[in-house]
Amino acid sequence: MNIFTLTHRALLLGLMLPISGTLAASEVSVEDDDGHEIRLEQPAERIVSLAPHITEVVFAVGAGDRLVGATQYSDYPPEAELVPRVGGYSRIDLERVIELDPDLVIAWRSGNSASQIDRLRDLGVPVYVSEPRRFDGVASSMRRIAQLAGTQDEGARAAQDFLDRMDALREEYSDRKPVRLFYQVWEQPLMTINDEHLIAEAIEVCGGVNVFGHLDRLVPRMDREAVIDADPEVIIGGGMGEDRPDWVIAWTQWEDMTAVQSDNLFFIAPSLLQRHTPRIAEGTALMCEELDRARLRRPAE
């Protein structure tokens, strides 16, 4: 099936939809993170997720049974691995998406191709774009996705539970002595985050100070020498997998760095901090514990 056939099919389906006043009672409408209004005649029953963290959020708000498609690496919760694949988040198989006949596609602004999102809209597919940058944005996205799926009550509970956990961490840790840290997102090229990134709020909650928070790009590329010159007290890294702290261990060769001398090289599984999901509360709690460990290792004043 080529893309022209898909276009023709999508137009025909749109013309064949019945017009009925009874639909107004179940109609749902929300605004996505790009400011687009997403209006559905009824809650979505066939959802396609275009990023692993979106898949996780759909399950978190009680709508996992409505997922008919997801991208590679959608691995949480375990049931997500059973959802049919539609390519990787950076390159979606559009024909496969259309074949799944979704009534809602949820996309990721920073990760998905803008042209592919536009193409889906041109084919008549409702697309909700997600891009939370703060914890309240994660909660808001959870509530809106739940509304689109018709699971408002469960979504509202999950979102409030997430916010309550983050508030408790903020109250416990944010006023403790500041700790200068470098957060490593990637190894080759070496990448970090600025203070506009969601992870930066986790750092703030824990009483940390991002040594590269002032940079303009959301995910800046770094020279290793810049990190050495910044001399952070703590280095926290993700990695290629959930239990591979290779990138953090690699910093031990720079023995003059404060983080190395103090043994403040910490690994936190990337799925707990680098996905825009309620599990970032778990990653933040781990970060707060690591920064407290670094405080205890400071020389006595």
pLDDT in tens, 190-213: 999 999 999 999 999 999 999 999
Peptide linkage before 189 cis (omega within 30 of 0): yes
| Cα distance between residue 114 and residue 131, in whole Å | 13
| Cα distance between residue 112 and residue 124, in whole Å | 18
Question: Which of 121, 137, 160 finishes a domain?
Answer: 160
| Cα distance between residue 183 and residue 251, in whole Å | 12
Assess whether 99 and 210 both reside in one domain: no
Assess whether 8 and 155 both reside in one domain: yes
Say if CB 274 and CB 238 are below 8 A apart.
yes
Does residue 167 form part of some domain? Answer: no
Tell me the residue length of the chain: 301
Assess whether 153 and 14 both reside in one domain: yes
- The residue whose two tokens read 């024909």 is 95
Question: Which of 102, 132, 160 finishes a domain?
Answer: 160
pLDDT in tens, 112-159: 889 999 999 999 999 999 999 899 999 999 999 999 999 999 999 999
**What local confidence, expressed as pLDDT, does residue 241 receive?**
58
Assess whether 155 and 230 both reside in one domain: no
248: which 2 tokens?
A: 């953090």
Name beta bridge partners: 37: 31
pLDDT in tens, 238-293: 765 566 677 788 899 999 999 999 999 999 998 999 899 999 999 999 999 999 99
In the chain, which residue ranges form alpha helices assigned H by DSSP?
3-16, 52-60, 94-99, 114-122, 135-149, 152-173, 198-205, 224-230, 246-250, 258-261, 280-296
Q: Of 23 and 152, which is predicted with more confidence? A: 152
Does residue 35 form part of some domain? Answer: yes
Give the pLDDT band of residue 299 (cuts 50, 70, 90): confident
26: which 2 tokens?
A: 């179940």
pLDDT in tens, 35-58: 999 999 999 999 999 999 999 999
Assess whether 182 and 139 both reside in one domain: no
For the chain, the distance separating the N- and C-terminal CA atoms, rounded to the nearest angstrom, is: 71
Does residue 99 form part of some domain? Answer: yes
**What local confidence, expressed as pLDDT, does residue 110 receive?**
85
Q: Is 113 exposed, middle or buried (0-12, 13-18, 19+ CB in 10 A)?
A: middle
pLDDT in tens, 55-109: 999 999 999 999 999 999 999 999 999 999 999 888 899 999 999 999 999 999 9
Would you say residue 14 has pLDDT above 70?
no
| Cα distance between residue 5 and residue 9, in whole Å | 6
| Cα distance between residue 285 and residue 287, in whole Å | 5
pTM: predicted TM-score of the whole model, two decimal places: 0.85
**What local confidence, expressed as pLDDT, does residue 155 receive?**
97
pLDDT in tens, 214-240: 999 989 998 999 999 999 999 998 765
Looking at residue 142, its amino acid is M
Assess whether 93 and 223 both reside in one domain: no
- The residue whose two tokens read 């409702």 is 126
In 33-125, which residue ranges form alpha helices assigned H by DSSP?
52-60, 94-99, 114-122
Name beta bridge partners: 108: 130
Assess whether 155 and 245 both reside in one domain: no
Would you say residue 10 has pLDDT above 50?
no
Of 206, 262, 266, 257, the C-alpha closest to 236 is: 266
CATH number at residue 129: 3.40.50.1980
Task: Label the pairing between strands 47-49 and 37-40.
Answer: unpaired
- The residue whose two tokens read 């703030």 is 204
Would you say residue 18 has pLDDT above 70?
no
Assess whether 151 and 260 both reside in one domain: no
Longest Cα separation, the chain: 76
Task: Compute the radius of gyration of the chain from its Cα atoms.
Answer: 21
Question: Which of 160, 187, 220 finishes a domain?
Answer: 160
Assess whether 23 and 135 both reside in one domain: yes
Cα–Cα distances (Å) from 102 to 43, 131, 155, 209, 250, in that order, read 12, 21, 21, 43, 45
Question: 110: domain range?
Answer: 3-160
| Cα distance between residue 100 and residue 177, in whole Å | 52
Would you say residue 21 has pLDDT above 90?
no
Assess whether 206 and 109 both reside in one domain: no
| Cα distance between residue 279 and residue 200, in whole Å | 15
The domain tally of the chain equals: 2
**What local confidence, expressed as pLDDT, does residue 206 receive?**
97
